[in-house]
Amino acid sequence: MTLPLAGIRVLAVEQFGAGPWATLQLADLGAEVIKIEDPSAGGDVGRYVPPFQEGEDSLFFETFNRNKRSVSLDLRHSRGHEVFLDLVAAADVVFSNLRGDQPRRLGLTHEQLRDVNPRIVCCSLSGFGMTGPRAAEGGYDYMMQGLAGWMSLTGGPDEPPTKSGLSLVDLSGGYVAAIAILAGLLQAGRDGAGCDCDISLFETALAELMYVGTWAATKGYVPERQRNSAHPSIIPFQNFRTADSWIVVACPKQKFWELLCDVLGRPELVSDPRFLGFAARDAHRQELLAILDQAFARRSTAEWLEALAASGVPSAPVNDVTEAFLDPQVEARGGIVEIEHPRLGTVRQVATPLRVGEESKPLRPAPARGEDTAEVLVTLCGYSRDRIDELEASGVFGAAVGASSR
């Protein structure tokens, strides 16, 4: 295999969503990701998230942990940390998603590990970062959506503050951490020295305010929530109710607005002084939307999609998740993959969007807790069977090495 990250080894002290999402990207690109699971906590809490959960397996856990290996190891045990250092010597990356004060307490920073491995890249993904007054606080996606102002932007004008339908701060934080790790690896390869990457969910959420953040920070802009998921300043760029469902129509360029007027059978709107250009349409938003609402309500979604596609106006149906999977583009590009799981049967997942080169990694189900402990320690650290048995007896691994609940 010549996958982009083949030969890269990541030790991941991770659980739940954001952290495992970060290392999933690396695993799908060919990296060897070894989950370090805490035996005292029953491993990654994602194993126990309902629904669709049996024993220590769940579809939630499968989503974030395919193509990884699992080592059961108590890092708070003095001998457990010794084992961890032996693993660090054979690794390229140490990743964690804990509270910001925990990596240093557990000895997971570059400063603490560089004597073992000068090239090690250490990445912490936490709620608030490793410094500052909130460093010791836990942070979760929903909290960040509220704290960073996202909820104030989401929902209709007369609705309460609303979160996104997905855990977008967690997912974005995972992507940011993966990018930081790749940058750290490039630096280590260039300079021969690793580094720390200090990634914060809060800062990720703030960064994703994008232009709204710039408007607010520069001009004191206070966003107003618009109905039907409308863009704050570009009209039309939102959902519209049709005769039978909903449609998304986007006119981020003047040419699309002019084409839309032709499709609607209202060419005179192009030259209407109220709607000449972005600023005018924004200033007369309500007048324009009254016209468009009435027009779109006259035909079905299918009819509008056909007409808009023929004219080149960007548009899409408002699908539910199952309908999204039925789009012919999904089948054409292999958007759903299947993995056989020893307990859960055939697990169907969304394929990675990371299409780099011609090859893709053969898919393996997420590991049972600790199933790779013995093999990893023998292969990477040169441990004997006797030494593993002795460490097991000391409680370093929790339950028996390689034990599986499957």
**CATH number of the structural domain spanning residue 302:** 3.30.1540.10
Residue 353 tokens read as 């969007």
Same domain, 125 and 261: no
Residue 380: Cβ within 10 Å count: 17
Q: What is the mean pLDDT of residues 28-38?
A: 97
Model confidence at 358, pLDDT cuts 50, 70, 90, reads confident
What residue type is 98 in one-letter code?
Answer: L
Same domain, 312 and 360: no
Contact 277, 254 (CB under 8 A): yes
CA distance 368 to 373: 11
What residue type is 247 in one-letter code?
Answer: I
Would the pLDDT of 402 be above 60?
Answer: no
Q: What residue spans of 312-365 are helical by DSSP H?
A: 321-325, 328-332
The tally of domains found in the chain comes to: 2
* Assigned domain for 55 exists: yes
315-317 sheet: strands from edge to edge: 237-241, 246-250, 315-317
Residue 52 tokens read as 């669709």
Domain boundary residue, one of 317, 339, 371? 317
- DSSP letters, 102-150, are HHHHHT-SHHHHTTT-TT-EEEEEESS-SSSTTTTS---HHHHHHHTTH
Give the dihedral sign, CA 15/16/22/27.
positive
* Strand residues in 294-371 grouped as ranges (E): 315-317, 336-341, 345-350
Omega of the bond leading into 252 within 30 degrees of 0 (cis): no
Would the pLDDT of 403 be above 70?
Answer: no
Model confidence at 398, pLDDT cuts 50, 70, 90, reads confident
* Catalytic-residue membership of 170: yes
Same domain, 103 and 192: yes
**CATH number of the structural domain spanning residue 181:** 3.40.50.10540
Q: What residue spans of 34-124 are helical by DSSP H?
A: 59-65, 78-89, 102-106, 110-113
Same domain, 21 and 169: yes
Of the candidates 22, 23, 26, which has an alpha carbon nearest to the alpha carbon of residue 3? 26
* Assigned domain for 323 exists: no
Average pLDDT over the chain, rounded to whole? 95
Residue 195 tokens read as 């580094």
**Is this model's pTM higher than 0.85 or not?**
yes
Same domain, 284 and 232: yes
Same domain, 199 and 232: no
CA distance 21 to 168: 11
Of the candidates 150, 148, 128, 146, which has an alpha carbon nearest to the alpha carbon of residue 137? 128
Same domain, 179 and 37: yes
Would the pLDDT of 63 be above 80?
Answer: yes
CA distance 107 to 103: 6
Same domain, 235 and 185: no
- Reported as a single tens digit per residue, the pLDDT across 298-308 is 999 999 999 99
Same domain, 56 and 99: yes
Domain boundary residue, one of 269, 295, 317? 317
- Reported as a single tens digit per residue, the pLDDT across 104-133 is 999 999 999 999 999 999 999 999 999 999
- Reported as a single tens digit per residue, the pLDDT across 224-250 is 899 988 998 899 999 999 999 999 999
Residue 77 tokens read as 């045990």
CA distance 110 to 191: 15
- Reported as a single tens digit per residue, the pLDDT across 191-222 is 999 999 999 999 999 999 999 999 999 999 99
Same domain, 55 and 167: yes
What residue type is 25 in one-letter code?
Answer: Q
32-37 sheet: strands from edge to edge: 68-72, 32-37, 9-13, 93-96, 121-126, 195-200
Q: Report the Cα–Cα distance between both ends of the chain, in Å, rounded.
A: 30
Supply the range of the domain harboring residue 236: 227-241+246-317
* Assigned domain for 401 exists: no
pLDDT of residue 2: 86
Q: Kindly name the residue from 170, 196, 198, 372 that is annotated as catalytic.
A: 170
Pick left, alpha or beta for residue 44 (phi over 0 → left; psi -120 to 50 → alpha; otherwise beta): beta
Cα–Cα separations (whole angstroms), residue 12 to 19, 119, 247, 260: 8, 17, 42, 50
Residues 244-248: contacts with CB within 8 Å, 24+ apart? Answer: 244/300, 244/301, 245/300, 245/301, 245/317, 245/318, 246/301, 246/317, 246/318, 247/296, 247/301, 247/304, 247/305, 247/315, 247/316, 247/317, 247/318, 248/315, 248/316, 248/317, 248/318
Residue 258 tokens read as 């002019």
Q: What is the mean pLDDT of residues 46-73?
A: 96
**How many percent of the chain have pLDDT more than 70?**
98
* Assigned domain for 186 exists: yes
* Assigned domain for 291 exists: yes
* Assigned domain for 231 exists: yes
Domain boundary residue, one of 317, 342, 373? 317
Helix 254-263 crosses helix 301-311 at what angle (to 10 degrees)?
130
Same domain, 193 and 275: no
pLDDT of residue 162: 92
Q: What is the mean pLDDT of residues 5-28?
A: 97
* Assigned domain for 221 exists: no
Same domain, 114 and 79: yes
